[in-house]
Amino acid sequence: AELLAFMQDRIYPNEQEFAKQSHAARGANGVEWTHPPLLVELMVEAKQRGLWNLFLPVDSAELAPEGAHLGRGLTNLQYADLCEIMGTSIHAEFAACATNCASPDTGNMETLARFGTEDQKRQWLPPPRPP
């Protein structure tokens, strides 16, 4: 229910703004990979709503540092249903990016949770802070 509310309240109404900010941010200041401000804002909100790294199974989430707020312990089948919902945005990766469930983040986050050093986990697993 929380993912559906997030989609209705925050993702669908912001699709055009996300596209506009994404195009404006592309290559800005010589940086190719820059998250638009709207996306960073939604990433922080997704974490607050418990929608961060939904793909991460419970055994991997348990390996992450406290406060990283990882996963819900879903099976692949349960996660697949959420992916179907996230994929209904006009920009298919918008909701997945906002919840850190887009590739390659999914595989990278699980690898870091399982095999990263404690410093790497602290640096890369929590969501970004707002600018």
Measured from the Cβ of residue 7, the count of other Cβ atoms closer than 10 Å reads 19
Average the pLDDT over 22-36 and give the result.
75
Contact between 25 and 36 (Cβ < 8 Å):
yes
Q: What is the pLDDT of residue 11?
A: 97
Q: Residue 47 has what DSSP assignment?
A: H
Q: 């909100």: which residue's tokens?
A: 45
Distance CA(51)–CA(84), nearest Å, equals 15
- Closest to 54 measured CA to CA, from 116, 8, 111, 97: 97
- Residues 43-53 as b or e (16 or more Cβ within 10 Å = b): bbbbbebebbb
Sign of the alpha-carbon torsion through 48, 57, 5, 105? positive
The confidence band for 55, taking pLDDT boundaries of 50, 70 and 90, is: confident
The confidence band for 97, taking pLDDT boundaries of 50, 70 and 90, is: very high
